[in-house]
Amino acid sequence: MKKQTSPLKNLRTIDQVADLVKERTDNRRSTLAIFDLDGTLFDNRTRTMFILREISEKFDSRLPQLSAAFNSFRDLSVVDYSLDVTLRRLKVRAPAEVHFIKQEWAKRFFSDEYQKYDMPLPGAKACVERIHKAGATVIYLTGRDVGRMLVGTTEVLRLYGFPVGVAGTMTIVKKEFEQDDEIFKREVSEYIDRLGEVVAVFENEPANSNILQARFPGAASFFVETQHRPGAPRLNPGIARIKDFRPAGRRTGR
């Protein structure tokens, strides 16, 4: 006879999620955990700064304002969700320069080659690994696209030691780059719903967080406070806010 299993309600911490997954696994039950990548498991600001630095070196004489910006560049807090805002903060204002930088940035940012310059959030790898080891299928659900970014996505997950390509993992990306992120995640969540019991969702976009919480009301929903699209909706109640993936006791200076 199967043991009684716990209900999903009121999971508020990653510890509780891992314990529940373990219990379900011991009872031969399938569980799923959904992780967004950009702004959730990974901080993309380093990718942007690396690209801007590369562009400023490569096109030096054409980009005097960007080159000058690196004389005073101090830390990543200058990097906003919007490249326009970042460039304004860096005092790059000449329209022709801004236009050229945006073109060159987009070519690189949305490509396989530059994803290795992302930085995992503190504790991200340990958290994913723990939930995976407990027996959940880890689903990387990202608005990156198959044509330009799947290879780099897999590469960077492997580089940092995240479980990828092995049993109990799944990477779901967009077929077309142009597809709207929210519509993509809404449609895919219908498919995921058929696969098994979703126990946890991790997102950094309030709109996606709300969509996934509505689709999986029993799952623990975590909102990672990094950066997100401007003008985002309010986060629905019942979604737990986290700054990163470290156990609360190991966060210092916060």
Residues that bind Mg ion (CB under 5 A): 36, 38-39, 204
Q: How many residues does the chain have?
A: 254
Are the C-beta atoms of residues 93 and 79 closer than 8 Å to each other? no
Nearer to Mg ion, 39 or 135 (CB): 39
To which H or E segment does residue 171 belong?
strand 169-174
Q: How far is the CB of 247 from Mg ion (least distance, A)?
A: 22
- Interatomic CA distance for residues 174 and 123, integer angstroms: 26
- Minimum CB separation of residue 205 from Mg ion in Å reads 5
Q: What is the DSSP letter of 201?
A: E
Residue whose CB is less far from Mg ion, 38 or 118: 38
Tokens of residue 60, six digits: 């030096």
Which is closer to Mg ion, CB of 92 or CB of 149?
149
Structure tokens at 246: 């470290």
Nearest CB to Mg ion, comparing residues 24 and 174? 174
Residue 86 Cβ, how far from Mg ion at the closest point, in Å?
17
Q: How far is the CB of 87 from Mg ion (least distance, A)?
A: 21
Q: How many CB atoms lie within 10 A of CB 133?
A: 14
